[in-house]
Amino acid sequence: MQAELFRNARIFTPIDRGSPCSGENQGCLARYEDGALLVVEGIIERIGGEEEVLAGLSAETVENGYDCKGLCLIPGFVDPHTHNCFAALREDEFELRIAGTPYLEILSRGGGILSSVKAVAGADVEQLSANTLLQIRRALRFGTTTMEIKSGYGLDTENELKMLEAIGAAGRLTPVDIVPTFLGAHAIPEIYRGRADEFIDLVIEEMLPAVERQGIAGQCDIFCEEGVFSIAQGRRLLEEAGKRGMQVKLHADEVHDLGGAGLAAEIGAVSADHLLAASESNMEAMAAAGVVATLLPATAYSLRKPYASARSMIGKELAVALATDCNPGSSYTESMPFVIGLAVLNMEMSPAEALVAATLNSAYAIGMAKKTGSLDVGKQADFLLLEGGSPAILAYHAGVSPVVEVYKKGHRVFFESR
């Protein structure tokens, strides 16, 4: 058994108490000034102050230990909401948006998500998976060690399965843990315009069974929004997905308050995502039901919308997670440090709250907390070394990644030469 020691680090980690961190625990970090980590076969064996971690270790293990030179050591980021499988960018649409055309209007004209659908239809699995891999590699350099990726630019059985196959293939070629999500109900395809219920029938009767047979996606998502899918359609699909043993979640109350947050609470979703327009009472219902609120501040930034009410959520004991929502339309960024910066400066989260949101709570939001998200004994040694003296550097060093080394299961997978 090969034991690897990392010493002379300033360690900051959320504390996993067996459920997502909410209220006061949202900003609670364990901290070891002269910290050390002992890793055996990719798993954390010991963590704490140097004296305690080094006790009883062989002279060889200590001598071969890696000197972290006083850098900050934190868990790898878990990005729990991305659309990183796509075939083309949408810069033309970005220009339209900044000139004033609303996001949903572009979609209603057959652009937006539907333009990504056309691009995906014209790409094969190899092209899609190569593109996905590029996205993953970029995110890895910014410290993402676990990532959720959705389908949703297929919108028919063949292309949804193709996307999931590409996500699965990319996942086998990267050290990053990939969690694939089926998002067949991401938009109403043009041939189903005005017939959303019939499209949901197709998703339930044809796509879901095919996705289950394919065996790649363990989660199901839907975009509930005005002009897209209703709450009743969301309930119908997610209940079916739940019966098939999938973890369920939804794009909820992104632009309008349709009650998506309330639906998430009602059906026991693992998370509800976006929530820019969610009502106070539905936030309370989510907190009571233990649903994680996955907030996507880079989407509010890019769509120039008011940010989600993180302070109010934390005040209601609703556990908050953070994600990039990386996609070619509403939020084109792979950077979790950027997202943390927005959360701290524009949503008034403290750096500690944002760190918990981007690691442990985001691991809970995709069912990965048993493996990762905090530096607890028995979890994977997924961690980062950061420049600077505390995780506040993530927000403070704006627009630049302070991530200098990335470790996945104890192996160094990124290193910035200094």
Alpha helices in 244-296 (DSSP H): 260-267, 280-289
CA-closest candidate to residue 85, choices 125, 53, 44: 125
Q: How far apart are CA 67 and CA 6, in angstroms?
A: 6
Count of residues in contact with ligand NIG, rule CB under 6 A: 13
Given Fe ion, ligand NIG, none, residue 184, with its beta carbon under 5 to 8 Å by kind, binds: none
Given Fe ion, ligand NIG, none, residue 112, with its beta carbon under 5 to 8 Å by kind, binds: ligand NIG
Q: How far apart are CA 124 and CA 39, in angstroms?
A: 40
Longest dimension (CA), the chain: 71
- 253 sits near ligand NIG (criterion: CB under 6 A): no
Residue type at position 401? S
Of positions 4, 50, 254, 353, contacts ligand NIG by CB under 6 A? 254
Q: Are strands 383-386 and 320-322 parallel, antiparallel or unpaired?
A: unpaired
- The answer for residues whose C-beta is within 8 angstroms of residue 215's C-beta and 6 or more apart is none
**In this structure, how many other beta carbons lie within 10 angstroms of the beta carbon of residue 418?**
7
Q: Binding string, 70-109, against ligand NIG, x = CB under 6 A?
A: -------------x--------------------------
- 112 sits near ligand NIG (criterion: CB under 6 A): yes
Q: How far is the CB of 211 from ligand NIG (least distance, A)?
A: 18
Of positions 329, 341, 373, 402, contacts ligand NIG by CB under 6 A? 329
Please choose, out of 70-78, 111-119, 157-165, 366-374, the segment that lies near ligand NIG by the rule CB under 6 A.
Answer: 111-119
Of positions 251, 316, 408, 409, contacts ligand NIG by CB under 6 A? 251
Q: How far apart are CA 214 and CA 209, in angstroms?
A: 9
Alpha helices in 176-334 (DSSP H): 196-202, 208-214, 231-243, 260-267, 280-289, 297-303, 310-315
Task: Give residues 367-406 in contact with ligand NIG (rule: CB under 6 A).
Answer: none
Nearer to Fe ion, 4 or 325 (CB): 325
**In this structure, how many other beta carbons lie within 10 angstroms of the beta carbon of residue 244?**
13
Task: Give residues 208-237 in contact with ligand NIG (rule: CB under 6 A).
Answer: 223
Of positions 325, 353, 376, 382, contacts ligand NIG by CB under 6 A? 325
- 113 sits near ligand NIG (criterion: CB under 6 A): yes
Of positions 325, 334, 376, 382, contacts Fe ion by CB under 5 A? 325
Element at 141 (helix H, strand E): helix 125-141
Q: How far apart are CA 407 and CA 76, in angstroms?
A: 8
Nearer to Fe ion, 25 or 271 (CB): 271
- 284 sits near Fe ion (criterion: CB under 5 A): no
Of positions 116, 271, 282, 374, contacts ligand NIG by CB under 6 A? 116
Residues forming contacts to ligand NIG in the complex (CB under 6 A) are 83, 112-113, 116, 223, 251, 254, 299, 325, 327-330
Residues forming contacts to Fe ion in the complex (CB under 5 A) are 325
